[in-house]
Amino acid sequence: MDKKVRTRFAPSPTGYMHIGNLRTALYTYLIAKQNDGTFILRIEDTDQERYVEGATEVIYNTLRQTGLIWDEGPDIGGPVGPYIQSERMGIFKDYALQLVESGHAYYCFCTKEELEEMHKIQQVSGQPTKYNGHCRKLSKEEVEKRLAEGVPYVIRQKIPEEGTTTFHDELYGDITVENSTLDDQVLIKADGMPTYNFANVVDDHLMGITHVVRGNEYLSSAPKYNLLYEAFGWEPPKYIHVEHIMKDAQHKLAKRDGDASFQDLLDKGYMVEAIINYIALLGWAPKGENEIFSLEELKKEFSISGLSKSPAIFDPMKLKAINAEYIRRMSFDDFKAAALPYIRQTVKREDIDIDVLVRTLQPRAEVFVDIPEQVDFVDALPEYDNALYVHKKMKTNEETALSALNEILPVLEAIPENEWNEEKIHEELFALIEKLGVKNGWLLWPLRVAVSGKQFTPGGGIELCAVIGKADSIERIKKGIAKLS
RNA sequence: GGCCCGUUGGUCAAGAGGUUAAGACGACGCCCUUUCACGGCGUAAUCAUGGGUUCAAUUCCCGUACGGGUCACCA
């Protein structure tokens, strides 16, 4: 690396952070940071029609939350500002004029109607729709005359009529296209503003950007970018085009899918670290077998060569599994602090052993938002069907369950209130199992059902009894006996 | 439709001429002094397809199919 790496994330403030976009930001950030380079935030807000109140804040907040901290940007400034595109509007026209001067661009006076007409004809005759070069042929005098008359105009890029253009992508290698397939795209619009493509090239150059990570949709316009760089005599940045994140094989993950934005994922209870970890993996594969990476670790691990050239389908299951892994890796205290608000959504009573509940919950919680439902039996025993008592593998049925509960009841009743804890209950019940000469499940499966009324619970019967306390446990067992009798 | 790109198990994917074609999620099975959505151990994949090149092709080349992208005075 001879040149200091400078990368940029250049989102439009739409008020919505698509995870594909976030992932681009991530990769962009990682490339800068792993090369000890600079990560720049540039807001591309030139589309007034799409302006959304507070949208810039969404970008700031997302980046801050995920730890993708920029070194230069609108709020903190930097040597190549301004970093808000709408504040740079004055600089582009001169560059376009420079191109006109050097013969790489030209004034075009065609009206919208004329263009529409032209495209219509092209479509009907099966031709590709592109500008027909009408105004290319205008004489210098003619141009001057119309300019003087104040005829509205745009400035278009003059694509060579023959030959090919080759550009290099770090992932795809060299891609060559026929110049004849390229359109004389507009550089400066009739209102004097630059088009996105033009502003992008100029800004990237002015900001000294060395690597551009962007979506695959720009692959087809990349040759035109290259021609622009050539016309200016500038060195193009290294391109890395990344594939889309898909909902399924034929549809991109879209807003309406409800999984598409960072905020959607947050709302579903996923942890920030897990989200970053998962999207890093969507379209990129680490060298080794480890898949769990912090942002810090990603800086070391990430490599452009591990990026994938084909679209990746977003898999909520995998995200969930990674989130579960993060939960399991939390310390007891951290997990407790994070889980408590969720537990309290359904568990209001205070007379329980919360630590036992938290401890049994941690390995079984995959996402925080699932917790309220997981512990909703604590406050009150739900209505349940006796069918729950039937378990093939445990060899239990309603009849054996009744016997089991009848055996359990006096044993638990005999435990003094102040000795009621997990160890004691365990000790007493296992003594009973030995005395009766039965399998653990024969006794404990019915207990779990009676005490929870649920098919799945965090922890087994013993833990649950410890959580809800003696009085409630006894009451629920009695209720089970009554139901089974 | 033109142009560009892609195609390894249900999903994410490693592998880059000769491999038992990794690993993870999911599924399934078994195990575990208590169920499970914990843990442990296993099982399942002839690499879209046809043709080349080669002693040898999932890996290179061409075609086909399928999928995606793009063809704006929008970003």
Q: Angle at Cα A299 formed by Cα A293 and Cα A302, nearest 5°?
A: 80
Q: Using the CA of A112, give the nucleotide whose C1' is nearest.
A: B73
- What is the per-residue pLDDT across A70-123, written as a single tens digit (0 to 9) for each? 999 999 999 998 999 989 999 999 999 999 999 999 999 999 888 988 888 887
Find the Å distance, CA of residue A278 to C1' of nucleotide B73: 40
Work out if A394's Cβ lies within 7 angstroms of strand B: yes
CB atoms within 10 A of CB A14: 17
Residue A1's pLDDT band (boundaries 50, 70, 90)?
A: very low
Residue at shortest CA–C1' distance from B38: A363
- What is the per-residue pLDDT across A199-231, written as a single tens digit (0 to 9) for each? 999 999 999 999 999 999 999 999 999 999 999
Work out if A190's Cβ lies within 7 angstroms of strand B: yes
Beta carbons of A311 and A243 less than 8 angstroms apart? yes
Q: Which A residues between 454 and 473 have a beta carbon under 7 A from any strand B atom?
A: 456-463
Beta carbons of A119 and A126 less than 8 angstroms apart? no
Predicted local distance difference test score (pLDDT) of residue A4: 92
Find the Å distance, CA of residue A363 to C1' of nucleotide B37: 9
Q: Using the CA of A452, give the nucleotide whose C1' is nearest.
A: B35
Residue at shortest CA–C1' distance from B25: A318
Predicted local distance difference test score (pLDDT) of residue A50: 59
Handedness of CA A394, A396, A400, A402 (dihedral sign): positive
Q: Which amino acid is at A467?
A: V
Nearest to A461 by CA among A438, A484, A430, A437: A430
Enumerate the nucleotides of strand B whose atoms come under 7 Å of any protein CB: 1-8, 10-15, 22-26, 33-39, 67-75
Find the Å distance, CA of residue A197 to C1' of nucleotide B6: 25
Q: Which A residues between 149 and 188 have a beta carbon under 7 A from any strand B atom?
A: 152, 154, 172, 175, 177-178, 181, 183, 185-186
Work out if A374's Cβ lies within 7 angstroms of strand B: yes
- What is the per-residue pLDDT across A241-298, written as a single tens digit (0 to 9) for each? 999 999 988 888 888 877 889 999 999 989 999 999 999 999 999 988 899 999 999 9
How far is the C-alpha of A210 from the C-alpha of A236, rounded, in Å?
8
For residue A253, give both structure tokens.
């993950």
Residue at shortest CA–C1' distance from B12: A282
Q: Using the CA of A152, give the nucleotide whose C1' is nearest.
A: B73
Beta carbons of A458 and A374 less than 8 angstroms apart? yes
Contacts of A379 (CB under 8 A, 6+ apart): A346, A347, A348, A349
Residue at shortest CA–C1' distance from B74: A47
Q: For residues A115-142, give the mean pLDDT.
A: 86
Q: Using the CA of A173, give the nucleotide whose C1' is nearest.
A: B5
Find the Å distance, CA of residue A464 to C1' of nucleotide B14: 44
Half-sphere exposure of A15 (CA within 13 A, CB side): 5
Nearest to A26 by CA among A65, A73, A81, A79: A65
Find the Å distance, CA of residue A367 to C1' of nucleotide B9: 28
| ipTM greater than 0.90 | yes
Q: For residues A362-372, give the mean pLDDT.
A: 92
Q: Using the CA of A129, give the nucleotide whose C1' is nearest.
A: B71
- What is the per-residue pLDDT across A29-68, written as a single tens digit (0 to 9) for each? 999 999 999 999 999 987 666 567 788 999 999 999 999 9
Q: Using the CA of A289, give the nucleotide whose C1' is nearest.
A: B23
Find the Å distance, CA of residue A10 to C1' of nucleotide B51: 46
Average pLDDT over chain A reads 92
How far is the C-alpha of A63 from the C-alpha of A42, rounded, in Å?
12
Predicted local distance difference test score (pLDDT) of residue A48: 60
Q: Which residues of A are catalytic?
A: 255
Residue A476's pLDDT band (boundaries 50, 70, 90)?
A: very high
Predicted local distance difference test score (pLDDT) of residue A394: 77
Residue at shortest CA–C1' distance from B75: A196
Work out if A435's Cβ lies within 7 angstroms of strand B: no
Between A288 and A20, where is the model more confident?
A: A20
Work out if A89's Cβ lies within 7 angstroms of strand B: no
Predicted local distance difference test score (pLDDT) of residue A2: 56
Work out if A203's Cβ lies within 7 angstroms of strand B: no
Find the Å distance, CA of residue A139 to C1' of nucleotide B16: 55
Work out if A408's Cβ lies within 7 angstroms of strand B: no
Q: A215, exposed or middle or buried, with CB in 10 Å at 0-12, 13-18, 19+?
A: middle
Q: Which A residues between 55 and 84 have a beta carbon under 7 A from any strand B atom?
A: none
Residue A124's pLDDT band (boundaries 50, 70, 90)?
A: confident
Work out if A200's Cβ lies within 7 angstroms of strand B: no
- What is the per-residue pLDDT across A399-435, written as a single tens digit (0 to 9) for each? 889 999 999 999 999 999 889 988 899 989 999 988 8
Find the Å distance, CA of residue A459 to C1' of nucleotide B32: 15
HEC readout, chain A? CCCCCEEEECCCCCCCCEHHHHHHHHHHHHHHHHCCCEEEECECCCCHHHCCCCHHHHHHHHHHHHCCCCCEECCCECCCCCCEHHHHHHHHHHHHHHHHHCCCEEEECCCHHHHHHHHHHHHHCCCCCCCCCHHHHCCHHHHHHHHHHCCCCEEEECCCCCCEEEEEECCCEEEEEEHHHCCCCEEECCCCCECHHHHHHHHHHHCCCCEEEEEHHHCCCHHHHHHHHHHHCCCCCEEEEECCEEEECCEECCHHHCCCEHHHHHHCCCCHHHHHHHHHHCCECCCCCCCCCCHHHHHHHCCHHHECCCCEECCHHHHHHHHHHHHHCCCHHHHHHHHHHHHHHHCCCCCCCHHHHHHHHHHHCCCHHHHHHHCCCCCCCCCCCHHHHCECCCCECHHHHHHHHHHHHHHHHCCCHHHCCHHHHHHHHHHHHHHHCCCHHHHHHHHHHHHHCCCCCCCCHHHHHHHHCHHHHHHHHHHHHHHHC
Q: What are phi and psi of A309, to 5 degrees?
A: -95, -5
Q: Specify the range with the lowest mean pLDDT, choosing from A127-131, A288-292, A326-330.
A: A127-131
Q: Using the CA of A462, give the nucleotide whose C1' is nearest.
A: B34
Question: Which pTM value belongs to this model?
Answer: 0.93
Find the Å distance, CA of residue A302 to C1' of nucleotide B45: 28
Find the Å distance, CA of residue A55 to C1' of nucleotide B41: 51
- Using a pLDDT cut of 90, give the percent of chain A over it: 75
